[in-house]
Amino acid sequence: MKKVSKLDEYLFDLNGYLIIENALNKKELKDLNKILDKLKNLKNNEWAGHVHGHNYGGKDGLNLQQIYEAGEPFEKLIDHPSWINHMLHFVGGKDTFDQHHGPLFIDENFANIRGPGEAIGIHSGAYEGTQRAHYRFENGKFHCGQINILLALKDIGPGDGGTVIIPSSHKSNLRHPEYDKHVMKKDIVSSAESMTASKEIYLKAGDGLLFVDSLCHGSAKRTKKGERRIVVYRYGPSWGFFRHPYRPSKNLLKRVTKYQKNIIMPHEKVLSP
């Protein structure tokens, strides 16, 4: 299991994100991509088993929601050794009420496939003050509302439509003055690459971008042919709730380990009269 180093702590606090290189090995990448090869033609609002085709209404590509239902390679990502310690550490709450019902809670998980001309506009930023996405460090500990792992399943370089972040904006008090020009709008491809102080993140297939969701972020527009493939799992405290009206299937809850079950559906037994 990867440990959280002193440098990880320092850089995460400073910038609001970390890059975990080689978070996935070649075999894992191959298995995950093979599953996506089959799912990538799913249409918006169509189901493939318990995986749902979804889109925010703009040119932001296809989301495959509930991707942890797509088979063992995706189940493994729930508590993957390359980032689970980071999630436990940055969401925090050890020995407190925040871990009363389990170690963590995944409120959304999806793969995203994006083609030429597609992107996601800028969103988030500490100035919004949301509880769900907040960054907080107090009494020598991290207490973050939501930490994302965004995994590249193919290399993401210039022209591929990389994730764009505004480093340190998890502590910003003000909305970026160029925000409105880059925010997502219906029928317009909004992207974030030309914003002042932004940074486009390039990743090798298998690398993970870990960031607190209050970091202001979006993506660059894909200009190359082909597709960008990423997977995102979002972790928060055990008392959180699902972002979308999806729930893990009975079969998935039966298949996963007890530890994983606690992360995707806290409360081992529901009390009833």
Ligand X SMILES: O=C(O)CCC(=O)C(=O)O
What DSSP string describes 148-161? EEEEESS-B-TTS-
Residue 123 CB, nearest distance to ligand X (Å)? 7
Which residues ranging from 53 to 82 are in contact with ligand X (CB under 6 A)? none
Rounded distance, CA 251 to CA 72, Å?
Answer: 12
Q: Which residues pair with 218 in a beta bridge?
A: 164
Which residue in 82, 163, 238, 262 binds ligand X (CB under 6 A)? 163
Which residue in 35, 113, 150, 263 binds ligand X (CB under 6 A)? 150
Cβ proximity to ligand X: between 42 and 152 the closer is 152
Residue 198 within binding range of ligand X, rule CB under 6 A: no
Cβ proximity to ligand X: between 65 and 112 the closer is 112
Report the Cα 44 to chain-centroid distance in Å: 20
Kindly state the tokens that stand for 55.
Answer: 């889109």
For residues 43 and 239, the answer to whether their CB atoms sit within 8 Å is no
Kindly state the tokens that stand for 257.
Answer: 């380990």
Q: Which residue has the tokens 């918006």?
A: 44
Residue 214 CB, nearest distance to ligand X (Å)? 11
Which residue in 51, 78, 120, 252 binds ligand X (CB under 6 A)? 120
Cβ proximity to ligand X: between 69 and 160 the closer is 160
Kindly state the tokens that stand for 83.
Answer: 């980032």
Residue 124 CB, nearest distance to ligand X (Å)? 7
Which residue in 232, 252, 263, 264 binds ligand X (CB under 6 A)? 232
Q: Which residue has the tokens 């297939």?
A: 205
Q: Which residue has the tokens 């992107």?
A: 119
Rg (CA), the chain: 18
Rounded distance, CA 232 to CA 77, Å?
Answer: 10
Residue 201 CB, nearest distance to ligand X (Å)? 8
Which residue in 148, 172, 190, 260 binds ligand X (CB under 6 A)? 148
Q: How many residues bind ligand X (CB under 6 A)?
A: 8
Q: Which residues contact ligand X (rule: CB under 6 A)?
A: 112, 120, 148, 150, 163, 217, 219, 232
